[in-house]
Structure 1
């Protein structure tokens, strides 16, 4: 705040020859010009701005900066969310062995043309939910115009032969893939012991017990098996590829039984010469005969 003081009358007086004016000018010592009312444009009495006023001004500036930042962010989000330049034009599916590429692209077709920002994990899961081979998916945008979908599948634990078809089942007893005669080679290489069609189709509870037992085995142990069967839920038997029979019993204490079976499979073959049956239905006291 600046205070101005009027000039003295003697300062305003001027001689005809301008001597008084010259005297005043010489006595001003570099002062700024004065206005018509005699107030100087600059005054040595400058008061500092109150702290409260300074704080309010700074706060207003911060709020304005924040509002501008939010507006820019909303503009970017709106562009990404609605822009026709960033829509799904290509979908890459990875780690899908049981779910074929053709089937995956068919199911995911509705996503084409959708803005990338509008595609969610849940959208992809809904489109693939009827595929029992799919356990979960991981979805990522691949700019500028693609999606990348990583598929995690349920591992098949058993196969059933019905006519010329090979049916793969999960540990939960769900059918996860069917191979026809022309796809037989695609069904090879999986750790899937064969379950007879009779055991699979005649008694659902017995079949579910068999696949539950197979699902408790490590993949390496399943690879040593040729087939599995049962007449009841308490009489599951596994046939090894070398011809020996493993009496497993029911699906209880599966972890203990799996450990015993792995130990047997890892033992020298000479230790089991002449052994045709390995009864591990009581894993704490296995019996051979």
Structure 2
């Protein structure tokens, strides 16, 4: 009987040395995937339970810092933190929104999770730079022109704002163009721009129009400032003018390149 040909022997050798069948390889990969999936489930479940199901990481206390006029109790009440809720699911943005809405005195607040069981409220209150008398009480105005609180007594050292808009055509046009809120903001800009020594001595900031803002000092002196423009230049000019004329009672820096002063 004739032996196998060279071609037949080569074909048998190729079949015996070829790669293993593909179905077996796919089954092995599937087995690995299933094992990894089960491992993730068993490892992840305790973590999820720890954060959401256990009694260890729940909001149980609220700490408040940074208050000056407000009390921590007022801040806690307005924050309305959902105590007993899983700490990780507490909506810190919602707490911040409630605080800013309910307590306008708050300028900014940082709501942080304090693990394992606390919420921290870091508050920054608005500071009044002017006050407006209204019906026997006083409305506080901050450095952005925001009227944020009404108090029964005027804060010490805070100048009063008087909107004494004249009946002149220019004043009426100024009010129509800018509006009362804008004129209040202009007064705030002036109050922040005056030299520190003058600011401490200022009793009243008077606004007659956009271009006619003046200061009444506690010792009776008057400073005509004009508009809020060129505040830094006007501040330097006023400082020099007061040094040069210590006995003057009237100072005009509305045009800082041509300042004036007088004793009356």
- Is the Cα–Cα contact under 8 Å of residues 58 and 87 in structure 2 kept in the other structure? yes
**Residue in 1 that maps onto 2:96:** 125
Q: Residue 226 of structure 1: CA displacement? A: 2.2
**Residue in 1 that maps onto 2:114:** 142
Structure-2 separation of matches of 1:199 and 1:74: 69
Q: Encode CA deviations 1:207-265: one digit per residue, 9 max, x unaligned.
A: 641343324625973434222112233311122445432222234x2xx21x1344246
Of Structure 1 and Structure 2, the greater strand share is in 2
**Residue in 1 that maps onto 2:161:** 195
Q: Encode CA deviations 1:128-175: one digit per residue, 9 max, x unaligned.
A: 123222232211112222111112333322113446533311244433
Flag the 1:214–1:143 CA change in 2: closer, same or farther, 3 A.
same
Flag the 1:224–1:55 CA change in 2: closer, same or farther, 3 A.
farther
- Is the Cα–Cα contact under 8 Å of residues 112 and 121 in structure 2 kept in the other structure? yes
Q: The residue matched to 1:231 in structure 2 has which SS?
A: strand
Is residue 2:200 matched to residue 1:223?
Answer: yes
Q: Residue 122 of structure 1: CA displacement? A: 1.2
Give the superposed CA RMSD.
3.9
Flag the 1:237–1:268 CA change in 2: closer, same or farther, 3 A.
closer
- Is the Cα–Cα contact under 8 Å of residues 206 and 232 in structure 1 kept in the other structure? no
Structure-2 separation of matches of 1:62 and 1:286: 85
* TM-score (normalised: structure 1): 0.62
- Gaps in structure 1 of 5+ consecutive residues: 1-46
Flag the 1:177–1:58 CA change in 2: closer, same or farther, 3 A.
same
Flag the 1:265–1:89 CA change in 2: closer, same or farther, 3 A.
farther
- Is the Cα–Cα contact under 8 Å of residues 98 and 177 in structure 1 kept in the other structure? no
Q: Residue 67 of structure 1: CA displacement? A: 6.2
**Residue in 1 that maps onto 2:80:** 109
**Residue in 1 that maps onto 2:184:** 210
Ranges of 4+ aligned residues in structure 1 off by more than 4 Å: 52-67, 264-269
Q: Point out the structure with max Rg over C-alpha.
A: 1
**Residue in 1 that maps onto 2:171:** none
Structure-1 separation of matches of 2:109 and 2:135: 33
Q: Encode CA deviations 1:20-71: one digit per residue, 9 max, x unaligned.
A: xxxxxxxxxxxxxxxxxxxxxxxxxxx9x98x99999689658844763465
- Is the Cα–Cα contact under 8 Å of residues 195 and 239 in structure 2 kept in the other structure? no
**Residue in 2 that maps onto 1:249:** 226
Structure-1 separation of matches of 2:36 and 2:195: 63
Moved more, 227-236 or 81-90: 81-90
Name the count of aligned residue pairs.
Answer: 229
- Is the Cα–Cα contact under 8 Å of residues 93 and 104 in structure 1 kept in the other structure? yes
- Gaps in structure 2 of 5+ consecutive residues: 1-16, 166-174
Flag the 1:280–1:63 CA change in 2: closer, same or farther, 3 A.
farther
Q: The residue matched to 1:223 in structure 2 has which SS?
A: helix
- Is the Cα–Cα contact under 8 Å of residues 57 and 86 in structure 2 kept in the other structure? yes
* TM-score (normalised: structure 2): 0.66
**Residue in 2 that maps onto 1:39:** none
Structure-2 separation of matches of 1:116 and 1:273: 63
